[in-house]
A and B are shown apart, each in its own frame.
Chain A
Amino acid sequence: MNLTGVGASPGTGQGPAFIVTVSVPEPPEGATYTGEADQEKQRAADALQQVAGVLELRGDRAGGQAGEILRAQAMMAEDPGLAVAVRSFIDQGIAAPRAVYQAFARFRETLAGAGGYLGERAADLDDVRDRVIGELTGHPMPGIPSEPAPPDEPGGAPRPYVLVAHDLAPADTVLLTKDLVAAFVTEKGGPTSHTAIVARSMGVPAVVGCRGATGIRPGVRVRVDGTSGQVQVEPPPDFSDSRSAGPEAGRSAGSGVGRSGGDAWAGQVAARDTGGPGRTSDGHAVPLLANVGGQSDLDAAVAHGAEGIGLYRTEFLFLGRSEAPSADEQRQVYRAALEAFPGRTVVVRVLDAGADKPLSFLPPSGGEPNPALGERGLRLLRRFPDVLDTQVEALAGAADGSSAHLMIMAPMVATAEEASWFAGVCHVRGLASAGAMIEIPAAALRAESLVTVVDFVSIGTNDLAQYTFAADRELGTLGTLQDPWQPALLDLVHRTATAASDNGKPCGVCGEAAADPLLACVLVGLGATSLSMSPRALPAVRVALAGQTLGQCQLAAQAARGMETPAHARAAARSELPELARLGL
């Protein structure tokens, strides 16, 4: 099938058709929910907030008149009157998507009835409503695709779409990139239409005024000639050979990591580990290390291409015993870890007992109604210096004659004085590299002085979140406060990393936060010099990092820190790192 329109942006492009939908289906009347009303309300509130965040962000990026419309739309999503209406519908037993629909309808009628300017705002309101409902129902968000089509053959590259629409509004086009769009086709519009202008500025072919285009079946291959205005649906195969010569060629060069470049590399992302050292696309090295808590983790770390160990937890040696293991026994276990990574970094954390890991031979000095704030980690070891000294002696013995680079760190360090004491114990035993975990806000706030007395620092995001937000890690109801995207937590990471960098000291991150590919890029942007995570998380993070420049990571970090909520921070970072969506991360 061939269609003809007006060529509005030169060049040819092809890809699977993506028909831009104008609305999500209306949630069925009378839909109810199971579970608690409060949960349903929270679900609705989260969706509204998420949509507001996205719109606000797009508004900031778009600027001008489009930006004003988008920011006004963000305000609509956050409207207090709307929120009240949604909650009251949910109280009546109505499911969140339908409650949202009905709440919007209340306001919509008033606006639409006025006509003119307010009538147009009703269309804006519909757009917001559809986005919120889409968020709640998992229905694809109205509007544009957020990531390219999956590869059409194993090992192939993700494919940008041919975007087909009646017309595209500024809101639809703000976030589009060449990674997502191979060409535009619209039924309406002329050579000076919004779509045409955007397409030309992106360097993407476009055909406008193409009647019948929205009748194209989603997903079928479409070839667009933006010079002649020809649109071919399912063109003969000989055209498809030109695909790799399209806009992808330049991009592949940028994402190559000195390994198999281009399409093959991108295609491997979801399937398997590409291996190799962690680095950004512009060659900034970020060692990707494994969190290890026992022998079986060692094997997994090696299997997933860890460049070393970033957090070796030693508790497994001590738990369930009536007395501490001997130096000899410990030495043998540590030796196995060092031998697994010859020539590489192995960061061992000394015993982190107390709190949720009590040991009979290291009793706290008194009753602890609040063990997380009690004698744990280094605090406990200072009361039992022999236990620490035996462990340090065993570590020094294991490192003797090993090619691995052993680094030792202390948990639960609050002050530079504590860190200094610990470094002294290690240095006396001949261990050159002694560091401190940063997991107490005080340590992060005074990182400038702390980094001068240790050889490195490593940020434990889990505990740092718990202590920064005074939110128990074990309490699911406080989950939002433990979200590693909390801007306050990002601030502390940034502060610590900057202090370390100013003093020429490494600053790793070894919490679960590093296992999130998007957040991993942000942590690097904040200044983390290495990332340590569960071994199985390594491949995705390695691939994510290889798709960004250090500068992009820094911009994403800055954008995230500029936000006020975790959801906004996440959205802000994602919009700075569009490559991640292309990689399916």
Chain B
Amino acid sequence: MPERKVTVVAEVGLHARPAATFVRAATKAPMDVTVAKVPGGDPINAKSILQILALDVRQDETIVIKAEGKGADEVLDELAKIAGSP
């Protein structure tokens, strides 16, 4: 399954505006998209703002985003870019 590993550099982590932007982009994807903390975290639904917030990804933490199906690479690229933006 295609995946991207990305380290969150934003000071607020994957919260507030980055979280909302991330979830909005994930929601547009036709397939399921998951996010997990690296290493070893349980994957959660990237389209759920509540699960993303609860994942509590902070600055300098790394996540892995996974999606499968047609267009998955484009979706993952976009999400990785959002998560990796300062």
Contact = CB atoms under 8 A, between A and B. Distances in A.
B77 interface: no
A82 B23 CA distance: 14
B85 interface: no
B37 interface: no
Q: Is the interface of A mostly helix, strand, loop or mixed?
A: helix
A107 B54 contact: yes
Interface in B41-75: 45, 47-51, 53-54, 56
A72 interface: yes
A72 B15 CA distance: 10
Given A71-B20, A75-B23, A75-B24, A117 B50 contact: no
A118 interface: yes
A368 interface: no
Contact of B56 (A68, A72, A79, A114): A114
Nearest to B51: A81
A544 to B, nearest CB: 35
A117 B15 contact: yes
A82 B53 CA distance: 13
Interface residues of A, number: 17
A121 B54 CA distance: 10
A68 B23 CA distance: 14
B49 A110 contact: no
A118 B12 CA distance: 11
Nearest to B24: A75
B53 A111 contact: yes
B28 interface: no
Contacts of B50: 76, 79, 81-82, 107, 111, 125
A476 interface: no
Given A79-B48, A80-B45, A80-B47, A121 B53 contact: yes
A125 B49 CA distance: 11
B16 interface: yes
A75 B45 CA distance: 14
A192 to B, nearest CB: 24
Nearest to A71: B20
A124 B56 CA distance: 16
B53 A68 contact: no
A208 B15 CA distance: 32
B48 A81 contact: yes
Contacts of B45: 80-81
Interface string B5-29: 0000000100111011001100000
Nearest to A75: B49
Contacts of A75: 20, 23-24, 49
Contacts of B16: 68, 72, 117
Interface string B25-37: 0000000000000
Given A111-B53, A117-B15, A121-B53, A68 B48 contact: no
12 contacts: A72-B49, A75-B49, A76-B49, A76-B50, A79-B50, A80-B45, A82-B50, A107-B50, A111-B50, A117-B15, A118-B15, A121-B53
Given A79-B48, A110-B54, A118-B56, 5 more contacts: A81-B48, A81-B50, A82-B50, A107-B54, A121-B53
Interface of A: 68, 71-72, 75-76, 79-82, 107, 110-111, 114, 117-118, 121, 125
